[in-house]
Structure 1
Amino acid sequence: MTLKDYLTKLKIGLPKTNVHLDKQVYEAGSVINGTIEITGGLLKNKIKRYDIDLVGIDSQAFVEETLNSHSVFCSLECSPNQTGKITFLLDVPYEIQTNQNTCQYSLMINIDLGNANNITQNVPIMIGAVS
């Protein structure tokens, strides 16, 4: 087993992600405008695909539901110690529940690097009533 295979298996040196959103609170029917900032790890990687899901969790009914999803197949280089950005737009459905006491929302970010390596990030967001 090579050093690269060993580090990859242990998930050491994988790229790091940071998600930036344009607002702190979104309304039903609005658009989430965001950026995924990816900083390369120790080894060169290639991003094969990324998925962004808007997920709602109803804590009273113990139900998790994907409300909107965006997937992109790609072939982006991720070089060591370099930073790249992926911008995205995701619609918040008009018919979403805005009761923050029982429903919690988040963006689930999954970046597929191939070879069974994924980077996942859960970004909580707030969705308020339309004013």
Structure 2
Amino acid sequence: MTLKDYLTKLKIGLPKTMVHLDKQVYTAGSIINGTIEITGGLLKNKIKRYDIDLVGIDSQAFVEETFNSHSVFCSLESIPNQTGKITFLIDVPNEIQHSQNNFQYSLMINIDLGNSNNITQNVPIKIGAVS
């Protein structure tokens, strides 16, 4: 087994991600405009696909619901010590009820690096009343 294979298996040196959103509070019918900032790890990696899901969790019934989903197949490189950006837009459906206090919303972001390696990030968001 090569050093690269060993580090990959242990998930050491994978790229790091940070998600930036254009607002702190969204309303039903609005659009989330965001950026995924990817800083390369120790090894060069290829991003094969990324998925962004807008999910809500009913904290009383313990039920998760996906309100919107966005998947992109790609072939992007993540180079050590360099930072790249992926911009995205995802709609907040009109059906989302801000008045449901028992719902917690978040963006679930999954970046597929191939070879069974994924980077997953959960970004909480707030859905407020339409003003």
Q: TM-score range by the shorter chain?
A: over 0.9
Q: CA deviation at 1:118?
A: 0.1
Which runs of structure 2 are paired with 1:108-119 in the superposition (5 Å)? 108-119=108-119
Q: Corresponding residue for 1:91?
A: 91
Deviation digits for residues 39-67 of structure 1 (CA, Å, limit 9, x no counterpart)? 00000000000000000001112110010
Give, in whole Å, the separation in 1 of the partners of 2:77 and 2:18.
17
Tell me the percent identity: 89
SS in 1 for 2:96: coil
Report deviation, 1:99.
2.7
Matches of 2:65 and 2:99 in 1, distance apart? Answer: 15
| Match in the other structure for 1:123 | 123
Say yes or no: does 1:36 pair with 2:36. yes
SS where residue 125 of structure 1 aligns? Answer: strand
Deviating beyond 4 angstroms after TM superposition, the runs of 4 or more aligned structure 1 residues are none
The separation in 1 between residues aligned to 2:34 and 2:22, in whole angstroms, is 6
Local SS of the residue matching 1:12? coil
Matches of 2:101 and 2:66 in 1, distance apart? 19
- With normalisation by structure 2, the TM-score equals 0.98
Gaps of 5+ in 1: none
Distance in 2, matches of 1:26 and 1:48, equals 29
Equivalents in 1 of 2:42, 2:99: separation in Å?
Answer: 43
Q: TM-score, normalised by structure 1?
A: 0.98
Range 1-10 or range 91-100, more displaced = 91-100
Q: Deviations over 1:50-108 (max 9, x none)?
A: 00000000111211001000000000011000000000000000010213620100000
**Alignment-derived partner of residue 24 in structure 1:** 24
